[in-house]
């Protein structure tokens, strides 16, 4: 196993570069999967709106 801080640091760096990132850390999971990881993946796939899409929508939204 590697320290989860590597995941957090990489995600923070990618965000600073403007990337779309989700980084879920599940303690003691290792390189496998479990019900929690699968549920998170399904949640992300169903509900994620790419940053570029969100930004375009915000630009075109009428301001109050």
Q: For residue 48, is pLDDT > 90?
A: no
Q: Which run of H or E residues covers position 59?
A: helix 51-60
The residues near 36 (Cβ < 8 Å, ≥ 6 apart) are 26, 29
Q: For residue 17, is pLDDT > 90?
A: yes
pLDDT at 64: 65
Contact 29, 37 (CB under 8 A): yes
- Across 5-13, average pLDDT: 93
Give the count of beta carbons closer than 10 Å to the beta carbon of residue 50. 9
Q: For residue 12, is pLDDT > 90?
A: yes
């Amino acid at each position: 196993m590697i320290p989860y801080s590597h995941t957090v640091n990489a995600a923070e760096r990618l965000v600073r570069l403007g990337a779309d990132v989700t980084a879920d850390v599940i303690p003691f999971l290792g390189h496998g999967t479990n019900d929690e990881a699968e549920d998170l993946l399904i949640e992300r796939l169903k509900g994620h709106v790419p940053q570029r899409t969100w930004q375009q929508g915000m630009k075109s939204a009428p301001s109050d």
